[in-house]
């Protein structure tokens, strides 16, 4: 991080008057904290200094008493657009992202049409360019049918590949070891990372059928159909194949300590570990007791685990083993979720997360159980590095995009679904009291969210691609 020391230097370097200066804030990145001023020109950070930069600025924003962090990056967001816009769309979803402190989101491919070919990529990019209020990219779904089309998908603009062995349409499931080997080898050659949702679908199918024969329709039946062994066994198989290919693999939605232990073992076998771990906010803040209480509104895949498992995941997070928090923002309407009120199998799985993930983490920081630097590592820098967007995204440094969030760590408030920007207007965290909130979000030098709500028009968000691949 380079610190200019005097305003005169800016003119000597040809920068001239800044577009914006953010003064008197405490800047926090994943590995640095300090009181400084930030100068912005043409959407980029051009100086970070303790000098009084406001004399060289067209606009000055005083954030005394506030924390300044890089805008969050979420590589796991279901915007439901196109095809399912009754649940969410690119505009409402990215408004929720801006309100939640996110500057960049990666749209997931389970749309209609799905992002499985170049047509799906082009259509989703077009929608995003016309509707998004934050920067965005997208992931393509890899299936047995499109394994020979990975290079065209990359050329069309995808930033990552997604694959799954459960809880997707049956024709998308990658079961065969030969398909996994081919995916990982080809993705490694293309320099595109792979995010994998790993659960043994045959075990889930057998257990779900057994529970349904027993006429289990209660919420915990959903959890019982997907026991920890179904996730851990599949992660063991997939991680061993990935370890010898060199692919940059992220296990999505890891929800059990058994899985984490297996990944640790696999990492220890490689001179350059290539396996990363994502956890979701709901697996950090909810457990099986909450599933029983919430019913269908607590249903997601993988399911909520017991309290001991939640404590184990937190311990791994504190130890630095978890690489990033991906939201898995997966909204459904209230009526869709309520369909499972009497029979849990009738409800779709998934919960909205974009507007609650950061406040929940800030509340933990308020209690002294985590530091803001860790939050930034998990929610800004970590995702940006894995996606190849760092250091343009995910940090506050000279040359980076001016993607900045102002945090008020003193205000306490209650999470209320009806007040959210997202379309579904509910949350499993309804009524939860938290301390710490997003005050403003800036993207590329433009305030996109503040006290007056969303401050830009649809289409302000830009499509981004990965300029460089992250290497450990």
Instruction: Find out whether the peptide bond into 302 is cis, omega within 30 degrees of 0.
Output: yes
Q: How confident is the model at residue 16 (pLDDT cuts 50, 70, 90)?
A: low
Of 201-210, 224-233, 237-246, 323-332, give the lowest mean pLDDT range.
Answer: 237-246
Cα(60)–Cα(53) distance, rounded to whole angstroms? 9
Among 266-275, 294-303, 354-363, where is mean pLDDT lowest? Answer: 266-275
Q: Which residues contact 169 (CB under 8 A, 6 or more apart)?
A: none
CA 443 – CA 226 distance, rounded (Å):
40
The answer to whether the CB of 211 falls within 8 A of the CB of 235 is: no
pLDDT at position 17 is 84
Q: Which of 357, 456, 359 is nearest to 135 (CA)?
A: 456
Give the DSSP H or E segment for 41.
strand 33-41
What is the per-residue pLDDT for 10?
A: 45
Residue 93 binned pLDDT confidence (cut-offs 50, 70, 90): very high
**In terms of Cα–Cα distance, which of 457, 464, 448, 422 is closest to 81?**
422
1 has pLDDT over 90: no
Per the DSSP assignment, residues forming a β-bridge with 68 are 27, 406
User: What is the per-residue pLDDT for 11?
Assistant: 39
Query: Residue 4 has what pLDDT?
Result: 38
Lowest mean pLDDT among 140-154, 267-281, 424-438: 267-281
Query: Domains in the chain, ordered, with CATH?
Result: 7-68+398-409+435-454 (2.30.40.10), 70-387 (3.20.20.140)
Does residue 6 have a pLDDT over 50?
Answer: no
**How many CA atoms are closer than 13 Å to the CA of 458, on its beta-carbon side?**
10
Is 142 or 13 the better-scoring residue by pLDDT? 142
**How does pLDDT run across 388-420, given as a tens digit for each residue?**
999 999 999 999 999 999 999 999 999 999 999
> Comparing C-alpha atoms, which of 86, 187, 72 is closest to residue 139?
187
pLDDT, average across residues 223-244: 96
What's the pLDDT band for 100 if we cut at 50, 70, 90?
very high
Write the DSSP string, 214-265: TT--SHHHHHHTS-HHHHHHHHHHHHHHHHTTT--EEETT---HHHHHHHHH
| Residue 471 pLDDT | 32
State the greatest distance between any 2 C-alpha atoms of the chain, in Å, as a whole number: 77
Question: Is 323 part of the annotated catalytic residue set?
Answer: no
Using CB atoms within 10 Å of the CB of residue 214, give its burial: 0 to 12 exposed, 13 to 18 middle, 19+ buried. exposed
Residue 104's pLDDT band, with cuts at 50, 70 and 90, is: very high
The three-state (H, E, C) secondary structure of 86-155, written as one string = CCCCHHHHHHHHHHCCEEEEEECCCCCCCCCCHHHHHHHHHHHHHHCCCEEEEEEECCCCCHHHHHHHHH
Q: Please, what is the angle between helix 118-131 and helix 90-99, to 10°?
A: 60
pLDDT of residue 15: 58
pLDDT of residue 53: 66
7 band by pLDDT with thresholds 50, 70 and 90 = very low
Q: CB within 8 A of 50, min separation 6: which ones? A: 3, 35, 36, 37
Residue 209: strand, helix, or coil:
helix
Tens of pLDDT along 264-292? 998 888 766 799 999 999 999 999 999 99
Task: For tokens 């929720």, name the residue.
Answer: 96
pLDDT at 5: 38
Q: Which helix (H) or strand (E) holds 309?
A: helix 307-318
Separation of alpha carbons 377 and 72, rounded Å: 10
- Helix 177-190 vs helix 228-243: angle between axes, to the nearest 10 degrees? 50
**What's the whole-number mean pLDDT along residues 303-320?**
98
pLDDT for the residue numbered 55: 64
Nearest alpha-carbon partner for 3 in 25, 35, 28: 35
Name, in order, each residue with C-beta under 8 angstroms of 335's C-beta and a sequence gap of 6 or more: none
Q: How confident is the model at residue 221 (pLDDT cuts 50, 70, 90)?
A: very high
What does the pLDDT read at residue 269? 81
The two three-digit tokens of residue 437, written as one number: 């909130």
Rounded Cα gap, residues 243 and 184, in angstroms: 9
- Active-site residue, selected from the candidate residues 328, 401, 403, 452: 328
Count of C-beta atoms within a 10 Å radius of residue 376: 26
């Amino acid at each position: 991080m380079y610190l200019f020391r005097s305003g005169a230097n800016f003119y000597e370097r040809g920068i001239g008057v800044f577009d914006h200066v953010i003064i008197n804030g405490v800047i926090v990145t994943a590995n640095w904290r300090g009181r400084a001023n930030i100068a912005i020109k043409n959407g980029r950070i051009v100086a970070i200094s303790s000098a009084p930069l406001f004399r060289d600025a067209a606009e000055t924003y005083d954030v005394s008493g506030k924390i300044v962090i890089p805008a969050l990056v979420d590589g796991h967001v279901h915007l439901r657009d196109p095809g399912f816009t009754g649940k969410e769309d690119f505009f409402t979803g990215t408004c929720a992202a801006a309100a939640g402190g996110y500057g960049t989101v990666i749209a997931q491919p389970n749309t209609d049409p799905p992002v499985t070919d170049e047509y799906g990529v082009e259509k989703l990019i077009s929608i995003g360019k016309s509707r998004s209020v934050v920067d965005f990219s997208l992931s393509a779904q890899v299936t047995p049918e499109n394994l020979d089309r990975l290079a065209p998908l990359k050329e069309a603009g995808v930033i990552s590949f997604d694959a799954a062995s459960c809880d997707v349409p049956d024709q998308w499931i990658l079961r065969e070891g030969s398909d996994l080997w081919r995916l990982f080898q080809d993705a490694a050659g293309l320099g595109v990372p792979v995010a994998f949702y790993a659960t043994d679908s045959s075990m889930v199918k057998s257990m779900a059928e057994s529970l349904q024969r027993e006429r289990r329709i209660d919420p915990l039946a959903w959890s019982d159909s997907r026991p920890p062994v179904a996730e851990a066994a599949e992660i063991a198989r997939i991680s061993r194949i990935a370890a010898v290919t060199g692919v940059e693999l992220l296990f999505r939605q890891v929800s059990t300590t058994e899985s984490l232990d297996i990944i640790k073992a696999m990492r220890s076998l490689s001179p350059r570990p290539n396996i990363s771990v994502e956890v979701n906010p709901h697996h950090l803040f909810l457990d099986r007791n909450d599933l029983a209480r919430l019913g269908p509104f607590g249903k997601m895949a993988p399911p909520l685990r017991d309290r001991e498992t939640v404590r184990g995941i937190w311990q791994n997070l504190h130890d630095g083993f978890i690489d990033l928090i991906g939201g898995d923002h997966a909204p459904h309407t209230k009526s869709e979720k309520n369909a499972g009120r009497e029979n849990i199998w009738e409800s779709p799985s998934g919960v909205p997360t974009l507007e609650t993930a950061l406040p929940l983490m800030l509340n933990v920081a308020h209690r002294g159980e985590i530091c803001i630097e860790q939050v930034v590592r998990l929610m800004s820098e970590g995702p940006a590095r894995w996606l190849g967007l760092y250091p343009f995204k995910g940090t506050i440094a000279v040359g980076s995009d001016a993607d900045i969030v102002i945090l008020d760590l003193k205000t306490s408030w209650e999470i209320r679904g009806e007040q959210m920007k997202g379309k579904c207007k509910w949350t499993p965290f309804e009524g939860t009291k938290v301390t710490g909130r997003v005050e403003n979000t800036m993207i590329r030098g433009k305030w996109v969210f503040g006290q007056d709500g969303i401050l830009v028009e649809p289409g302000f968000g830009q499509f981004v691609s990965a300029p460089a691949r992250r290497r450990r």
